[in-house]
């Protein structure tokens, strides 16, 4: 029941934020996202939140998560610049290492929240250690 309610709310939210041209806006002050499991075999994954500050002034960014092994990140991004913020640990990936082993999706407390003083654009990116890349863009 809860899963259906959450799915319905997400669908309603998506239909309300998608603009007439079919794009989802990625410029705001407050983002909530998850990074899906990109792990392949025993290859490591580097995860990033890529933040673009297209403002005349610097902006302070704070990244938080309720996930117990995540450490809060505080950074300042200079005007008209892009910063690649590493997201660790690798276990913060949703469904890491691979769900619960029986093919069912597990609800996890691994959401990530990014808040900034000024509007910024945010994208997420997961990169395999062996050079392969999985990109999760644009961010919703």
* Domain layout of the chain by residue ranges: 24-136
Q: Give the mean model confidence (pLDDT) for residues 130-134.
A: 56
Q: Taking the model in full, what pTM does it have?
A: 0.71
Kindly list the distances between the CA atom of residue 55 and the CA atoms of 13, 28, 61, 105, 122, in Å, as whole numbers in the listed order: 27, 12, 13, 40, 14
Once rounded to an integer, what is the mean pLDDT over residues 29-37?
86
| Architecture in CATH for domain 24-136 | Sandwich (2.60)
Length of the chain: 140
State what percent of residues in the chain have pLDDT above 70.
61
Q: Taking a C-beta distance cutoff of 8 angstroms, is the pair 81, 75 a contact?
A: no
What pLDDT is stored for residue 15 in this prediction? 43
At residue 139, the pLDDT reads 42
Work out the average pLDDT over 85-97: 78
């Amino acid at each position: 029941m809860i899963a259906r309610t959450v799915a319905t709310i997400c669908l309603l939210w998506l239909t309300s934020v998608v603009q007439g041209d079919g794009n989802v806006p990625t410029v705001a002050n407050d983002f909530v996202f998850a990074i899906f499991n990109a792990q392949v075999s025993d290859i490591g994954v580097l995860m990033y939140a890529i933040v673009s500050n297209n403002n005349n002034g610097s902006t302070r960014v704070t990244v938080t998560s309720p996930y117990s092994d995540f450490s809060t990140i505080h950074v300042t991004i200079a005007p008209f610049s892009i910063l690649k913020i590493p997201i660790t640990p690798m276990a913060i990936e949703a469904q890491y290492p691979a769900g619960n082993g029986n093919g069912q999706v597990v609800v996890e407390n691994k959401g990530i929240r990014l808040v900034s003083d000024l509007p910024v654009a945010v994208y997420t990116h997961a990169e395999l250690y062996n050079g392969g890349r999985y990109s999760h863009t644009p961010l919703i």
